[in-house]
Amino acid sequence: MATGALRSGCEGGAGADGRVPSPKGRGKRKRKRPNKPQGKGPSSAARGGRGDPGAAEANAAAAKDGRSSALEQPLELAQPVFFVGFMGAGKTSVSRYIARRWKLSAIDLDTYLERREGRVIRDIFAEDGEEAFRAIEADVLREVGRSPNPSLVSCGGGVVERPQNRSALGELGTVVYLRVSADEAASRISNKSSRPLFNDIESARALCERRGPLYDEAADIVVDTAGKSVGQIGHEVVRALKRCGVLRACKEDAS
């Protein structure tokens, strides 16, 4: 699929009746299209802020971008947008960048999970095993996806491992796959101690290759990130989401 490509059903945007078409065009998938939210969604502590992954990269990208964010028209989401892809693809950085520039909510799923469980992911793996972690991850995915406040949600690299999660992603919102090779991802990570998998590049390549078809299966939108900055990727994603009708002008600004 070409860079920035949309799945069938995404190209036309909103129809004559103002409704947003299902991005995959699959009748069995029921997409949530909430009105502008009134209540509170997931804890605001999960929506960015000091210490969240990708916050520094998003801030740096915004600072380097020549256009002032004050000139951007605020946008709103018709439904949640889930970012998937291999570690190092830029999921958190890109979602944070878009959130800051267009005044949207962004959630890092792993950070949200750790705060909800009161444990870091490596401890959940060590104490309870991967299956237990994946069960928690699936529960958190649905919890965040069903919030009345649609958000940009950056998911962990292994969220697509479970078929149930791949189905849930499509049922709950729109899925953006940020494609990256293991070698490109490794070149972006200066501190390998935080991503020990990249200390064995052959294992990283094998895992990336195995997960690639799973990301592709779940995706509504695919963006190739090779050689691009966070800002470039962010603008490409925004254009694609606008074409889908998933990202649109705020109602108070549209009149």
* Low-confidence stretches of the chain (pLDDT beneath 50): 1-2, 8-9, 12-53, 66, 68-70
Whether residue 150 is contained in a domain is answered as yes
What pLDDT is stored for residue 13 in this prediction? 44
Q: What's the chain look like in SS3? A: CCCCEECCCCCCCCCCCCCCCCCCCCCCCCCCCCCCCCCCCCCHHHCCCCCCCCHHHHHHHHHHCCCCHHHCCCEEECCCEEEECCCCCCHHHHHHHHHHHHCCCEEEHHHHHHHHHCCCHHHHHHHHCHHHHHHHHHHHHHHHHCCCCCCEEECCCCHHHCHHHHHHHHHHCEEEEEECCHHHHHHHCCCHHHCHHHHCHHHHHHHHHHHHHHHHHHCCEEEECCCCCHHHHHHHHHHHHHHHCCEEECHHHHC
Does a structural domain hold residue 159?
yes
How far apart CA 235 and CA 3 sit, in angstroms, is 13
37 in a domain, yes or no?
A: no
Measured between alpha carbons, how far is 132 from 246 in angstroms, rounded to an integer? 33
Which pLDDT score is estimated for 63? 53
Is 56 a member of any domain? no
- The pTM (predicted TM-score) of the whole model is 0.77
Residue 51 lies in a domain: no
Residue 68 lies in a domain: no
Query: What is the predicted pLDDT for the residue at 195?
Result: 79
Domain that holds residue 147: 5-10+75-254
Over its C-alpha atoms, the chain yields an Rg (Å, rounded) of: 17
| 174 located within any domain | yes
Q: In the prediction, which pLDDT does 11 show? A: 52
* Domain-located, residue 143: yes
| Residue 129, domain CATH | 3.40.50.300
Using CB atoms within 10 A of its CB, is residue 178 exposed (0-12), middle (13-18) or buried (19+)?
buried
**Residues 251, 107: Cα–Cα separation, whole Å:** 23
* Model pLDDT, residue 35: 37
pLDDT for position 12: 46
Structure tokens at 108: 């890092």
- Tell me the Ramachandran region of residue 225: left when phi exceeds 0, alpha when psi lies from -120 to 50, beta otherwise: alpha
Amino acid 50: pLDDT: 35
Number of neighbours of residue 181 by Cβ within 10 angstroms: 19
How many structural domains comprise the chain?
A: 1
- Cα–Cα dist 200/233, whole Å: 27
